């Protein structure tokens, strides 16, 4: 099945005058899906199955040393405006080895938590275990258990950062 999609993709590149290697990206694959779906009267969902085949071809080119473009271009993360959160982001990278996607997720979770604290006239300096519990109970009403557990892990990580950097004694 992969070979069929790769053959169709190569025909598409040739017909449209495109450089095959340059098109081996997620965006290039999506353009191919759209083209194929329009020409063959199939739903884009059906044509999108080809994505796995094109991703595999991208990886084969990489192994062969043909220097394919990155499948997905990482967006440049915006640095937090608050100095404490910038320091936390740097800590996650330097001391925990966290990738950008994890840093972004944890900063998002901590942003939710800090917003919750502000509603109750609290700050990270004055927060108590009861504040954390109340926030997590609220999260458990709105999110799946796994998401709530992930948010709890972010708060634990943030608390560990505050303690490790001397910003909190508890």
Q: Is the pTM of this model over 0.75?
A: no
Q: Are residues 54 and 124 in the same domain?
A: no
The total number of residues written for the chain in this structure = 170
> Does some domain include residue 120?
yes
CA distance 120 to 99: 32
CATH of the domain at 134: 1.10.150
Q: Are residues 90 and 141 in the same domain?
A: yes
Give the sign of the dihedral formed by CA 114, CA 117, CA 122, CA 128.
Answer: negative
> Does some domain include residue 73?
no
Instruction: Please tell me the total count of domains within the chain.
Output: 2
> Does some domain include residue 68?
no
- Please identify, among 63, 92, 107, the residue that sits at the C-terminal boundary of a domain: 63
pLDDT value at residue 52: 87
- Please identify, among 11, 34, 63, the residue that sits at the C-terminal boundary of a domain: 63
Give the C-alpha distances (Å, rounded to integers) separating 138 from 125, 135, 157.
Answer: 21, 5, 19
Which range marks the domain in which residue 142 is found? 83-164
| Residues 6 or more apart in contact with residue 30 via CB below 8 angstroms | 48, 51
Q: Are residues 88 and 144 in the same domain?
A: yes
Confidence of residue 100 (pLDDT cuts 50, 70, 90): confident
Does residue 118 surpass a pLDDT of 90? yes
pLDDT value at residue 74: 64
> Does some domain include residue 48?
yes
CA distance 87 to 93: 10
Q: Are residues 37 and 103 in the same domain?
A: no
């Amino acid at each position: 099945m992969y070979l069929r999609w790769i053959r169709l993709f190569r025909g598409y590149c040739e017909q449209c005058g495109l450089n095959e290697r340059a098109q081996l990206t997620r965006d290039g694959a999506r353009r191919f899906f759209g083209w194929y779906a329009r020409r063959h009267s199939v739903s884009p969902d059906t044509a999108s199955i080809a994505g796995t085949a094109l991703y595999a071809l991208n990886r084969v080119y990489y192994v062969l040393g043909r220097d394919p473009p990155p499948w997905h271009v990482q967006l440049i993360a915006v640095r937090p405006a608050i100095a404490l959160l910038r320091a936390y982001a740097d800590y996650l990278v330097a001391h925990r080895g966290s990738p950008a996607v994890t840093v972004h997720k944890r900063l998002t979770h901590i942003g939710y938590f800090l917003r919750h604290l502000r509603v109750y006239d609290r700050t990270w300096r004055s927060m108590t275990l009861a504040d954390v519990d109340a926030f997590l109970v609220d999260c458990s009403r709105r999110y799946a258990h796994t998401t709530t557990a992930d948010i709890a892990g972010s708060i634990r990580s943030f608390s560990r950062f505050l303690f490790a950097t001397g910003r909190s004694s508890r």
